[in-house]
Amino acid sequence: KQEVTQIPAALSVPEGENLVLNCSFTDSAIYNLQWFRQDPGKGLTSLLLIQSSQREQTSGRLNASLDKSSGRSTLYIAASQPGDSATYLCAVMYNQGGKLIFGQGTELSVKP
């Protein structure tokens, strides 16, 4: 069964800290992996997309890595800010144009 797991479920850090969110998937034959941000009551905002052939992607203070062989991805957030507070979801796609399988999300709170 193809499953995606995110650890931790919740994380609270003081402003300015660097942090890492973890995502693991049971079937390593992925097509791509996508990280999203969701604010309460809102839709999903795409943060980073990593293709199966890539090792990492960067956007501003965000860096996502992918290790297919071990079935893991991490989202690194540098110099966290209160505005980064949200739920972060990772999702895996196994076929081009196919459905996404989501992890349970990590609820991040950055305290001023």
Partner 1 sequence: GAVVSQHPSRVICKSGTSVKIECRSLDFQATTMFWYRQFPKKSLMLMATSNEGSKATYEQGVEKDKFLINHASLTLSTLTVTSAHPEDSSFYICSAPLQGSGGEQFFGPGTRLTVL
CB of 22 to partner 1, least distance (A): 15
Q: Which residue number, 34 or 80, has a Cβ lying nearer to partner 1?
A: 34
Tell me if 100 contacts partner 1 by CB under 8 A.
Answer: yes
Do residues 112 and 97 make contact, with C-beta atoms less than 8 angstroms apart? no
Work out which of 26, 59, 104, 109 binds partner 1, going by CB under 8 A.
104
Q: Which residue number, 69 or 96, has a Cβ lying nearer to partner 1?
A: 96
Nearest by Cα to 3 from 88, 92, 68, 64: 92
CB of 74 to partner 1, least distance (A): 18
Q: List the interface residues with partner 1, window 44-73 (CB under 8 A).
A: 44-46, 49, 51
Work out which of 60, 83, 97, 112 binds partner 1, going by CB under 8 A.
97
> What is the DSSP secondary structure assignment for residue 83, as one 8-state letter?
G
Do residues 50 and 57 make contact, with C-beta atoms less than 8 angstroms apart? yes
Give the C-alpha separation, 82 to 95, whole Å.
36
The binding site for partner 1 (CB under 8 A) comprises 31-32, 34, 36, 41-46, 49, 51, 89, 91, 93, 96-105
